[in-house]
Amino acid sequence: MKGIVLAGGTGSRLWPITKAISKQLIPVYDKPLIYYPISTLMLAGIMEILIITTPEHLGSFKALLGDGSRFGVSFTYATQERPAGIAQALIIASDFLQNDPCLLILGDNIFHGAGLGHQLRNILPPTGAHIFTYKVRDPSQYGILTLNPNGSPIAIQEKPVTSESDLAITGLYFFDSYASTIASKVRPSVRGELEITSVLDEYLQRQTLTFTQLSRGTAWLDTGNPHAMNDAANFIRVIEERTGMKIACLEEIALFNNWITESDVRDMSNLYPSNEYGSYLLSLITK
């Protein structure tokens, strides 16, 4: 299985902050935002990751992340010329995927919860599409999944004015090898975008769409506006200060997965001299 991080878009809801920098490069407490979705893919055991961003920000992402080898993974890069919908990511990723299944995550979504990585490794189906839902108070702000009395998916609505369901579809999607082909047949919506809900609806019609409702112990943060970005930073700060452990430390995940060695971690800690992040890396191998 391969991974895709969609880190494109204009970030217009965060202007003027994002007029000259990608939203996914903005810090969320002590790490760039993109570290968080990448960490979710790494926790799922994914080592081949495609990062899709804008042409003007491509160089910055490469400077930050490189080829991924220091994290024990492989990063490939592609560009989205203009924001034309989430489903477009599956078309852009076609050559990268080579008909392999994938886990697609939005670059501004943060997931955190005990056992999340284990859940992702073991719950995904061999075929079809699988989504992750989260109960929300205001369904009109999200894509919503509706279930029948037996608990099976029957409908997907994008930001419904009224809805009997409160299950929001989060920015984490599993797709089988047919995803790119299905996405290529999607027609633009009234807002001119290739909607991911159209791809999901095709799987729904094929009766191969399944879902997992994230537990109350899992946090899902969508950092699309200044308030949400600030809330996410405060959430990360509180958890890290109370536990003494970092969230989305890519080097730590790589070490835990045995993708890099303690010697590698020691070398990387030297890249952050007199720095709290470097001290944390060193603590991982001196406990």
Domain coordinates in residue numbering, the chain: 2-140+169-248
* Alpha carbons 147 and 125: distance in angstroms, whole number: 19
Mean pLDDT computed over 49-55: 96
Residue 128, CA distances (Å) to 42, 179, 188, 208 in order: 22, 9, 23, 5
Q: Which CATH number is 2-140+169-248's, of 3.90.550.10, 3.40.50.620, 3.40.630.10, 3.40.309.10?
A: 3.90.550.10
Residue 117 has what pLDDT? 80
* Bridge-based pairing state of the strands 109-112 and 129-135: unpaired
111 touches 42 (CB < 8 A): no
Residue 114 has what pLDDT? 77
Paired residues of 155 in beta bridges? 146
Residue 136 has what pLDDT? 92
**pLDDT single digits (tens) 251-272:** 999 999 999 999 999 999 988 8
Residue 90, CA distances (Å) to 81, 136, 208 in order: 14, 27, 18
Running DSSP on this structure, what letter comes out for residue 215?
A: P
Neighbours of 280 (CB within 10 A): 19
Residue 148, CA distances (Å) to 154, 156, 165, 213 in order: 6, 12, 10, 15
Residue 161 has what pLDDT? 86
22 touches 53 (CB < 8 A): yes
* Alpha carbons 171 and 133: distance in angstroms, whole number: 9
Say if residue 213 is exposed, middle or buried (CB neighbours under 10 Å; 0-12, 13-18, 19+): middle
Residue 287 has what pLDDT? 63
Q: pTM of the predicted model, to two decimals? A: 0.95
- DSSP-H helix ranges across the chain: 35-43, 58-65, 87-92, 94-97, 116-123, 179-184, 196-205, 226-243, 250-256, 262-269, 276-284
Mean pLDDT computed over 82-101: 94
Mean pLDDT computed over 67-75: 97
